[in-house]
Structure 1
């Protein structure tokens, strides 16, 4: 299996781009073993590497900037890049990435939202690989479990611009969404937009706040999947709101506590917040913060 990494990054003199990942061919997440990329203009970086597909079928990776053999800069990696791979030794993935800076509304990418407030408890499986595939990935964290991200465009398999017939995407690595499309069924040029899709009602709810996305024929070969990532999707929807309570633990009181606030009271407070449909409980730090300067 061949992975072809491609990224545009304007480096300074003496700097180079490397890719670091979760498989031996990409360094096993050891910074000193990261795989260097090549360039002819200091802007467009690429490399090809033959790999063994991991048993999990998932490869995680990120990009770093090196100088004199040391990493001096890294992209935002709170949400690692992940690639679900399948196919035999002849399969190839052509990956086109952009450098990841801190996203807008970064707090929506934290575990408080992705694993609790907007958690997707039941996730759909990754798309099956196609002989000639176009894998489109996008970030959209502000979507609850009743909805999903979908693609609608100028192709029959994308609904022919009918949002109710849009192609749903997988939330296997939420808040990133992905879907692999059979490129042999696409008549290029491709135009599309992302849609907020209501899964229970099977209808499109809102179009993304962005002009039509356009793609000329990328000349995808046999046994090749072109991976297009790093799309950020936003909708003109009301801001997320949630009521909660803020209280220091020492101020809690209950008939079953010592009367000075303890962790048993904190659990009862959380049960009460759940029963009253609140979204957050905020407390003061429960340990000293002066030693670590994290106040």
Structure 2
């Protein structure tokens, strides 16, 4: 099993990016590893590691986060990690993680996530010989709606509004989908959409440019994991008008809603 991590982040001189990986076996035992990353341009940081294979008990999950360290190993900055990046693992596969840095997300205390929405276990997501795994944070999506993927490839519906691929809610406002990438042509473009559960119609598209999967191809056994940060859709904000003494509602577009 090989793990390949990639993230864009401009660090100050004398500091470097590290990925902190936690391996969890089926009995709940953990092993933590800190992997230093490298960069050729000061912007894109990468590392490839063979991962850890437990001798007697198979690995079930991988959880990881990024942090910035100085030359002495002092941690200068950590990602927000209240909602962990957790993925089920198949040790016979190789994984490619394309990430963006996560800071404290305002969404997770402005928009409480409903506890009634049934979450799918991350470890039960399917695994194909070649897969693309989409993950997006969308805590503002209402209970009567779901998140879906639509894109340029036939597997992703060729932008046909009736051929979107519904995603699975995995808890804490996050949605995931694993698709078989065997017949897909790379690179491709895609967007996340919000779908009404009752009518099955798309009620909102993400704003901004199309998202892109920039890999050239996937080899046998490779799993491409695309973490998309926040879904770029509008949501309702309730605020109190001190002058009039009343509550009011406004629509706010979620883009990079971080502090």
CA distance in 1, matches of 2:161, 2:172: 22
Displacement, 1:57? Answer: 2.6
In the TM superposition, residue 37 of structure 1 has moved relative to its aligned partner by 1.6
Q: Which has the higher strand share?
A: 2
Aligned to 1:93: 95
- Shift in Å at residue 158 of structure 1? 2.3
Cα shift at 1:220:
0.9
1:29 positional shift: 7.8
- Deviation readout 1:9-32 (Å, 9 max, x if unpaired): 2222321211113228xxx686xx
Look up the match of 1:64. 67
Q: Which residue does 1:52 correspond to in 2?
A: 53
Structure 1 ranges of 4+ moved more than 6 A: none
Quote how far apart the aligned CAs of 1:217 are. 5.2
Q: Residue in 1 aligned with 2:22? A: 22
Cα 1:39–1:175 change in 2 (3 A) is same
Residue number among 225, 230, 237 corresponding to 1:232 in the alignment: 230
Q: 1:123 to 1:36 in 2, by over 3 A?
A: same
Cα distance 1:241–1:56, how it changes in 2: closer, same or farther (>3 A)?
Answer: farther
Q: Structure 1 residues 125, 185: CA separation in 2 closer, same or farther (over 3 Å shift)?
A: farther
Q: RCO (CA 8 Å, sep 6+): is it higher in 1 or 2? A: 2
Aligned residues: 229
TM-score with structure 2 length normalisation? 0.76
2:78 alignment partner in structure 1: 74
SS of structure 2 residue aligned to 1:201: coil
SS of alignment partner, residue 157 of structure 1? helix
CA distance in 1, matches of 2:82, 2:15: 23
Instruction: Give 5+ residue unaligned stretches, structure 2.
Output: 25-29, 241-259
Q: Using the alignment, how far apart are the partners of 2:209 and 2:10 within structure 1?
A: 26
Question: Superposed, which structure 2 residues align to 1:265-284 within 5 Å?
Answer: none
SS at 2:170 equivalent: strand
Distance in 1 separating the partners of 2:69 and 2:170: 31
Per-residue Cα deviation, 1:202-253 (whole angstroms, up to 9, x for no partner): 332221122322345531111001111133212245x15499xxxxxxxxxx
CA separation in 1, counterparts of 2:148 and 2:171? 15
The answer to whether the 8 Å contact 1:59/1:82 transfers is yes
Identify if the C-alpha distance between structure 1 residues 111 and 82 changes in structure 2 by more than 3 Å, giving closer, same or farther. Answer: farther
CA RMSD, Structure 1 to Structure 2 (Å) = 2.8
Point out the structure with max Rg over C-alpha.
Answer: 1
State the secondary structure of the residue aligned to 1:123. Answer: coil
Q: Is the 8 A contact 1:120 1:144 kept in 2?
A: no
Deviation by residue 1:119-157 (Cα, 9 ceiling, x = unmatched) = 343123443112111112211111133321101123333
Q: Which segments of 5 or more consecutive residues in structure 1 lack a partner in the other structure?
A: 244-295
Query: Is 1:168 equivalent to 2:166 in the alignment?
Result: yes
- Distance change >3 Å, CA 167–CA 16, structure 1 → 2: same
